[in-house]
Structure formats: structure tokens, C-alpha cells
């Protein structure tokens, strides 16, 4: 069954601009960079964040899909400081999707819509830190 996150893929109609924006946000360049797709490896587990040129998507029913706006699953990336990360994202041109909220038991998250229309979630996640600590101290 499901064993873990491998790649989160965001769509864009301007791949060059998306690569620049995410490279600035992450402080790294994509390790894989082709005409239709670029990918960054990031964080403690080297998870992959991919950017796909939207023109390579299968036709999903026409303009009504795009007109509906951001929807679907929100992938939350662990951050150590939700307010500071949220401020940086907003300063870089993202728009607020969901304001910071306490999910309980130390889990705090928020989400933005990146300049390319994708939902980007951020979360201070104690479970993430517990798993990382168990691996690094094993």
C-alpha cells in the first residue's frame, strides 16, 4: 500500500517563471530540468516537488476545470515557523488560501495559492519532527 510521499507535482502555464519562483523560495535550483517538467529535492527526506507545464496535462473536460480554481488535496510541507514562512510566501506573491489555524496537539498549518494557481500547504508538524528524531538517533 501507500508507503510515503514521493513527489508532489504542481502545474503551471509558465514553467520558467515557476522554476524561478520555487528556486527563490527553496534556495536551490531544480536537480532535474527539462522542457516540460522540473523537479526539486528538498528537506530532511529529500522529498520531490515537481513543476509540470500545464500544456502536457491530459484534457480533463475543458475550461470549466480551470475556471473552478484551486481545489483538491492540499500537501502540507513541514516548516519550523508557520507565521514567518507564511509572511515570506505572501511577500513573494502568493495569496492566502487558508489562514494559520491550530489543528490541535501542536499541529499548526496554513496554505497559500502560489502565483501559478496551486495550493501550497505549510505546517508545523510534531509528528514529522518525532519521526526525524527517531531516524537520526537510531
Model pLDDT, residue 64: 45
Q: Which segments of the chain belong to CATH 3.10.180.10?
A: 72-138
CATH placement of domain 72-138: 3.10.180.10
Q: How confident is the model at residue 65 (pLDDT cuts 50, 70, 90)?
A: very low
In angstroms, rounded to a whole number, what is the distance separating the alpha carbons of residues 8 and 77? 10
Q: Which segments of the chain belong to CATH 3.30.720.120?
A: 1-56
Domain 1-56 in this protein, CATH class: alpha beta
Give the global pTM. Answer: 0.87
For residue range 14-33, list pLDDT tens digits in order: 999 999 999 999 999 999 99
Alpha-carbon distances of 2 from 6, 31, 36, 46, 76, rounded to whole Å: 10, 25, 27, 18, 17
Mean pLDDT comparison of 3-12, 70-79, 88-97, highest-scoring range: 88-97
Amino acid at each position: 500500500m501507500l508507503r510515503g510521499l514521493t513527489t508532489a507535482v504542481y502545474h503551471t502555464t509558465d514553467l520558467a517563471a515557476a522554476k524561478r519562483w520555487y528556486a527563490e523560495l527553496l534556495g536551490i535550483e531544480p536537480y532535474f530540468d527539462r522542457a516540460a517538467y522540473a523537479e526539486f529535492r528538498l528537506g530532511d527526506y529529500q522529498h520531490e516537488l515537481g513543476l509540470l507545464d500545464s500544456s502536457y496535462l491530459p484534457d480533463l473536460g475543458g475550461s470549466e476545470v480551470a475556471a473552478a480554481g484551486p481545489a483538491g488535496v492540499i500537501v502540507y510541507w513541514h516548516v519550523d515557523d508557520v507565521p514567518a514562512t507564511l509572511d515570506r510566501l505572501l511577500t513573494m506573491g502568493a495569496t492566502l488560501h487558508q489562514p494559520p489555524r491550530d489543528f490541535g496537539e501542536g499541529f499548526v498549518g496554513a496554505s497559500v495559492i502560489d502565483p501559478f494557481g496551486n495550493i501550497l500547504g505549510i505546517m508545523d508538524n510534531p509528528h514529522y519532527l518525532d519521526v526525524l528524531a527517531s531516524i537520526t538517533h537510531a
